[in-house]
Amino acid sequence: MAKLKIFLAAFALTVFVSGACSEDAPPPDVQVLGVITPDKTEVFMQIAAEMSRYPLPASARPVVFILPSEEMGPLLGAFNCADPNVVLVNIDTPPDLRAGVIVHEFVHFLQCQAGQLPAAPTCEQRAAFEAEAYTAEYRFELKYLKVHRPLDVTTSNCENRGITE
Ligand SMILES: [Zn+2]
């Protein structure tokens, strides 16, 4: 466990300076600043499975691209089940949130792998999948980073506030 904590601390410093892998095609028409290495991707996928109710897929793994904030807008991370091989992370994500954001997006990847993400979800469905991803993200932060953030996503607020990605 100590080894993982050291890795995670190093991750925040190193992830955004890793170079793009030539084998991986970046998303079209966007400026890619970097990509997370496969070994780090594997660690975070195992954590996402551990922190959620989803099994670890045998081999399917997305490529995590780091994009400038001009491409990401207000989003810290993004995943689209229609393009499940790609996870996007905003380079302006604060360092202490980066690992959690990847766990969050990987839970969406696992939801997609499990065939549970509808193409056109209702607000309530969307909120439920977000709550699941945030729960895993915050469980990860509590267990591995010793940071507690209260969960503030419910399925009852669809009419009152927007649901973030
Ligand atoms: Zn989300």
Higher per-residue confidence, 155 vs 100: 100
* pLDDT at res. 31: 82
Q: Are 37 and 18 in contact (CB under 8 A)?
A: yes
- Is the residue at 157 inside a domain? no
- Is the residue at 86 inside a domain? yes
Q: What confidence tens digit (pLDDT) does each residue in 34-91 have?
A: 999 999 999 999 999 999 999 999 999 999 999 999 999 999 999 999 999 999 999 9
- Is the residue at 78 inside a domain? yes
- Is the residue at 39 inside a domain? yes
Q: In angstroms, what is the span from residue 115 Cα to ligand 1's centroid? A: 16
pTM (two decimals)? 0.79
Structural domain range at position 131: 2-144
Q: In angstroms, what is the span from residue 162 Cα to ligand 1's centroid? A: 12
- Is the residue at 115 inside a domain? yes
Q: In angstroms, what is the span from residue 125 Cα to ligand 1's centroid? A: 12
- Is the residue at 159 inside a domain? no
Q: In angstroms, what is the span from residue 24 Cα to ligand 1's centroid? A: 24
Q: In angstroms, what is the span from residue 128 Cα to ligand 1's centroid? A: 10
Return the CATH number at 32. 1.10.10
CB atoms within 10 A of CB 129: 22
- What is the number of domains present in the chain? 1
